[in-house]
């Protein structure tokens, strides 16, 4: 930390100032950190510099092709193109230039963090921090450790992001982490509905005004507990009969129903409840749902 920084201000370097890197830089600048961006495209760098300088709290460092800020960085967020060879070359250089105690995060969507961690010394400080577009708005950042990531590394990034108003969530290092597995299963089915003759307008309108706001209120497993797991199982079985194995009911659902765990109505489902907590969950869903609906109306 330099003398001009406040105690909580950190030196952040984002590598790649494209869609995601620009968003990450803005999110970190909004939180009052000193932000530099390594971006080889001069026009993109200039546009981003202008945007960052408009943020009142921001301490804007170098925005351009120069790697010098990396030597000073407390945290590096790599958001270069999704190409393993390019990222490995870049990470090899990052390992040489960054401080040994700097935390190094990749925003990769699909690569294995271990394929980047092994090219740098001290892989305990490497993790995947997977942001969502636009990064300055979407709360969630999935944090995935590689096989050698230190617990302290996840902890440090969790604290940095929480203090910046984000919602860091620790996830396993699996392709697609959690969000893209779920999101892409849904997007695939939306496209199959289109191919099946549904209109684009109907698909978008149905999703936007049905389960999407409900999912903003409570996650899919809490919603399933409220909806009734026996009902969910019946629906899966009907869809499986028509559309085949992609709708086969998951074993966790089959087992829960066989054990009589039908959701809040039996006070046990994916979670356990008593009368009060079951009622509180439904009330919380309703409260948040009406807020979401009012906000997007």
Ligand X SMILES: NC(=O)c1ccc[n+]([C@@H]2O[C@H](COP(=O)([O-])OP(=O)(O)OC[C@H]3O[C@@H](n4cnc5c(N)ncnc54)[C@H](O)[C@@H]3O)[C@@H](O)[C@H]2O)c1
Q: Which is nearer to ligand X, 18 or 228 (CB)?
A: 18
Q: How far is the CB of 216 from ligand X (least distance, A)?
A: 19
The residue within the footprint of ligand X, chosen from 9, 18, 51, 226 (CB under 6 A), is 18
Q: How far is the CB of 6 from ligand X (least distance, A)?
A: 28
Q: Is 44 in the site for ligand X (CB under 6 A)?
A: yes
Distance CA 121, CA 93 (A): 11
The residue within the footprint of ligand X, chosen from 26, 58, 80, 128 (CB under 6 A), is 80
Q: How far is the CB of 144 from ligand X (least distance, A)?
A: 12
The residue within the footprint of ligand X, chosen from 1, 19, 71, 194 (CB under 6 A), is 19
The residue within the footprint of ligand X, chosen from 54, 82, 159, 205 (CB under 6 A), is 82
User: CB within 8 A of 11, min separation 6: which ones?
Assistant: 1, 2, 5, 33, 34, 36, 61, 69, 72, 73, 74, 75
**Token pair in block for residue 1:** 């930390």
Q: How far is the CB of 90 from ligand X (least distance, A)?
A: 5
Q: Which is nearer to ligand X, 111 or 292 (CB)?
A: 111
Q: Which is nearer to ligand X, 89 or 234 (CB)?
A: 89
**Candidate segments 33-41, 68-76, 139-147, 216-224, binder of ligand X by CB under 6 A:** 33-41
**Binding to ligand X (CB under 6 A): which residues in 124-183?**
130-131, 133
Q: Which is nearer to ligand X, 136 or 273 (CB)?
A: 136
Q: How far is the CB of 146 from ligand X (least distance, A)?
A: 15
Chain residue whose CB lies nearest ligand X: 18
Q: Which residue has the tokens 């490497």?
A: 126
Q: Under rule CB under 6 A, how many of the chain's residues touch ligand X? A: 23
Residues pairing with 144 in the sheet: 128
Give the 3-state secondary structure of the chain: CCCCCCCCCCEEEEECCCHHHHHHHHHHHHCCCEEEEECCCHHHHHHHHHHHHCCCCCEEEEEECCCHHHHHCCEEEECCCCCHHHHHHHHHHHHHHCCCCCEEEECCCCCCCHHHHCCCCCHHHEEEEECCCCCCCCCEEEEEECCCCCHHHHHHHHHHHHHCCCEEEECCCCCCCCHHHHHHHHHHHHHHHHHCCCCHHHHHHHHHHCHHHHHHHCCHHHHHHHHCHHHHHHHHHHHHHHHCHHHCCCHHHHHHHHCCCCEHHHCECCCECCHHHHHHHHHHHHHHHHHHHHHHC
The residue within the footprint of ligand X, chosen from 25, 38, 58, 278 (CB under 6 A), is 38
The residue within the footprint of ligand X, chosen from 39, 112, 142, 225 (CB under 6 A), is 39
Residues pairing with 265 in the sheet: none
| Binding-residue pattern over the window 92 to 131 for ligand X, x denoting contact by CB under 6 A | ---------------xxx--------------------xx
Q: Which is nearer to ligand X, 17 or 145 (CB)?
A: 17
Q: Which is nearer to ligand X, 130 or 166 (CB)?
A: 130
User: What residues line the site for ligand X (CB under 6 A)?
Assistant: 15-21, 38-41, 44, 79-82, 90, 107-109, 130-131, 133
């Amino acid at each position: 930390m330099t003398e001009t920084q406040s105690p909580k201000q950190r030196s952040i370097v984002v590598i790649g100032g494209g869609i995601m890197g620009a968003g990450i830089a803005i999110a970190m600048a909004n939180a009052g950190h000193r932000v530099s961006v390594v971006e080889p495209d001069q026009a993109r760098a200039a546009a981003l510099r202008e945007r960052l300088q408009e943020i009142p709290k921001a301490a804007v460092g170098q925005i351009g092709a120069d790697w010098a800020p990396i030597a000073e960085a407390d945290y590096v967020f790599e958001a270069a193109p999704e190409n393993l060879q390019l990222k490995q070359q870049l990470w090899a250089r990052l390992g040489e230039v960054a401080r040994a105690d700097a935390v190094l995060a990749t925003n990769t969507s699909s690569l294995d963090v271990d394929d980047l961690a092994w090219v740098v010394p001290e892989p305990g400080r490497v993790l995947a921090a997977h942001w969502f577009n636009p990064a300055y708005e979407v709360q969630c950042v999935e944090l995935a450790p590689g096989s050698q990531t230190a617990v302290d590394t996840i902890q440090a990034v969790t604290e940095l992001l929480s203090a910046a108003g984000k919602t860091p969530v620790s996830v396993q290092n699996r392709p697609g982490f959690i969000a893209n597995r779920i999101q892409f299963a849904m997007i695939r089915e939306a496209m199959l509905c289109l191919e099946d003759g549904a209109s684009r307008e109907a698909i978008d309108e149905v999703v936007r005004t049905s389960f999407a706001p409900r999912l903003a209120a409570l996650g899919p497993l809490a919603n399933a507990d409220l909806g009734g797991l026996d009902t969910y199982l019946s629906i899966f079985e009907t869809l499986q009969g028509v559309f085949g194995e992609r709708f086969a009911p998951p074993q966790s659902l089959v087992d829960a129903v066989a054990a009589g765990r039908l959701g809040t109505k039996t006070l046990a489902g994916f979670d356990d409840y008593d009368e009060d907590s079951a009622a509180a969950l439904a009330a919380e869903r309703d409260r948040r749902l009406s807020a979401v609906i009012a906000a997007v109306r």
